[in-house]
Structure 1
């Protein structure tokens, strides 16, 4: 047998709302951590971008050896020094595999210009491999790649085909990269790669054909110098 149930609605709350919390001050947007340590970025870049010039101070030891052997000094021996005076070309890979690092690329290009100087720095963009086309602007403006002036340092911001989707059909082939590296060396330029992947992921053909610097917070000036010398 059903029994009728009666209930009274709950009494209305008498609470009074208090003041709203203050709005946060400043920009609260989270900023990704840069790949290179901000404290050492300028020094690391100077090490990576510099080339060797045989126009330093007079090499007293070499001069002394020539005198001791009675040999004529036809040109003054000088010690090598690191310099940025030959200019820098930055090649920025915009291929699918490097999209994850797009923000880091943009920030690094600005830092490179600060270190090497606006007039001494040129920037070219490409996708997967420079020889398929490159340029300082959008993809529609890309043309055949042009080697910079003799003596320039060429810094390549790329994964060299290491990362990206497994079936990325436009990935730069080893033969293409080797051909490109041979071309710029014949023109008297010195290429260096800045790679966001550790040595354990680099193929043998790449490590044996190009100085590679790890694009990571663990990279110090000493490690960068050792990588460039290698």
Structure 2
């Protein structure tokens, strides 16, 4: 009997705490976006490795950037020399993919069905010389007939409006999720009954509580995904 009770308690504990752990992980969509941006950044850096023709440069950049974005980037950084075209290092990396940290500081948001914005707040390092004060950098991805591509870049010292709106939505989501968790905690108050191994209705109580936890877990997941 004791072994059976221990197993059931372990299952319920996993169901209860497992949902919180899963919600804290990066979503698969975010990871895909991060991988895409890292590859896009590497394609930009590769243009400084050797001289290329314009056709070759187009083949390197086209999988990741719209034609308009490529033109803006190349206008800023491309040099024509006798051996061909090449880019060099710069202190003003406009139109390069920002140096995102790709962790909880890098935010991914959908502004519409065919546009995703990735942004991050960068602070100036007090112990290191910096060209910039605290600022925001972002890029926008647009869905095109040939797939998602970078189509815009931004650098702003003031908080952009889309950042304000996104953070307000996140705060509202946290409040809503927190309310659901409070209700769930109130419902599982009888959990203390597990401490009494001879309670005559224990099998029924465990079954009801497990069912309630599963119901609340599904409800919480639905609210978060919305």
Same fold, judged at TM 0.5 (above): no
TM-score band, normalised by the shorter chain?
A: under 0.3
Q: Whose RCO is larger (CA < 8 A, sep 6+)? A: 1
Select the structure of larger CA radius of gyration.
Answer: 1
Normalising by structure 1, we get a TM-score of 0.22
